[in-house]
Amino acid sequence: MKYKYRSLMAKLVLFAAMAPLFSACSDEEDAVAEADVAVQFQNLVDGQPIELNKTYTSPAGDTYQVEDYKYYISNIKLLDASGNVVYTEPESYHLINQTEEKTAFTLAKVPAGKYSKIEFSLGVDAAHNHSTDQPGDLDPSNDMVWNWDTGYKFLLLEGTYTGNTKSGGLIFHIGHDANYKTFTLPLQQPLDIRTSPAYTLQISSELNALFQSPHLIDFDELNTAMGGEAALKIVENYTTDFFQQAIAK
């Protein structure tokens, strides 16, 4: 009996010692080397999903409706907690097109790891901004190009407004190399790519931020911007609070 007891105890001790090894092997089998990450842009007005042709109120108190709304997101990178770039998407140009409800794309083959920030730019970089013979989302058929010299429209917003003294059309076409801006957003929780082949990042943008700070836009005074000081006011506004949060799921 003593021998059987000792033998049983020895087996239990051996099993306990090997259990972490079994667990480690299981974790290794479940781990992935890379994964696809869907990036979803959620366009909001006052915190709610935007609806085309719905009447909204601007920060200055004007009412307006959006008929066409789209912008370019480019040169996407994922960063670790130390701010090091770990992943860079190749050929990274995406047209976020609210008008056609195309507001998402996929980052392919993102290496396993923990990511704390996402970096991207609004617009098209100078290397691609002055060539209008390009495929995909940079294709001129997307109606986001002026010409080869001026380049692409980085952001397009068209609609109508009613102000205190006037009413009419809203036309904001923002472009030009100097207005290409880069943003770095912290993720509310790190994107931890370990065991799943697919993940999601959701980024929200607030349309009314285009009209609020540092320049309060009164549509009676500024309802069209295609360059110059008028466009610069919109650019300075969208570098403030336009992109508001990024959430990993």
Band (pLDDT 50/70/90 cuts) for residue 14 is very low
Q: CA-CA distance, 13 to 182, in Å (whole number)? A: 57
pLDDT in tens, 102-138: 999 999 999 999 999 999 999 999 999 998 788 999 9
Lowest-confidence region among 11-15, 121-125, 191-195, 236-240: 11-15
Which residues neighbour 149 within 8 Å (Cβ) at sequence distance 6 or greater?
Answer: 130
pLDDT per residue over 63-110, tens digit each? 999 999 999 999 999 999 999 999 999 999 999 999 999 999 999 999
| pLDDT score recorded for residue 7 | 54
**CA distances for 244 relative to 124, 136, 191, 204, angstroms:** 21, 27, 17, 6
Find tokens 């090091």 and name the residue: 84
What's residue 249's pLDDT?
Answer: 84
Q: Check whether 151 has a pLDDT greater than 50.
A: yes
Q: How far is CA 84 from CA 88, 116, 194, in A?
A: 11, 10, 19
Full-model pTM: 0.86
Q: What is the pLDDT of residue 248?
A: 86
How far from the centroid of its chain's Cα atoms is residue 57's Cα?
25
Residue 28: the pLDDT is 52
Q: Identify the pLDDT of residue 150.
A: 87
Q: What pLDDT shows up at residue 8? A: 47
Say what the pLDDT of residue 45 is.
97
pLDDT of residue 15: 46
C-alpha pair distances (Å), 24 with each of 31, 111, 137, 193: 10, 20, 44, 17
Distance CA 96, CA 107 (A): 15
Largest CA distance in the chain: 101
pLDDT computed for residue 97 by the predictor: 97
Mean of the per-residue pLDDT values of the chain: 89
Q: How would residue 22 be classed by pLDDT, with cut points 50, 70 and 90?
A: very low
- Percent of the chain scored above 70 by pLDDT? 88
Q: Are 120 and 177 in contact (CB under 8 A)?
A: no
- Position 19 pLDDT exceeds 80: no
Question: Do 159 and 66 form a contact (C-beta atoms < 8 A)?
Answer: yes
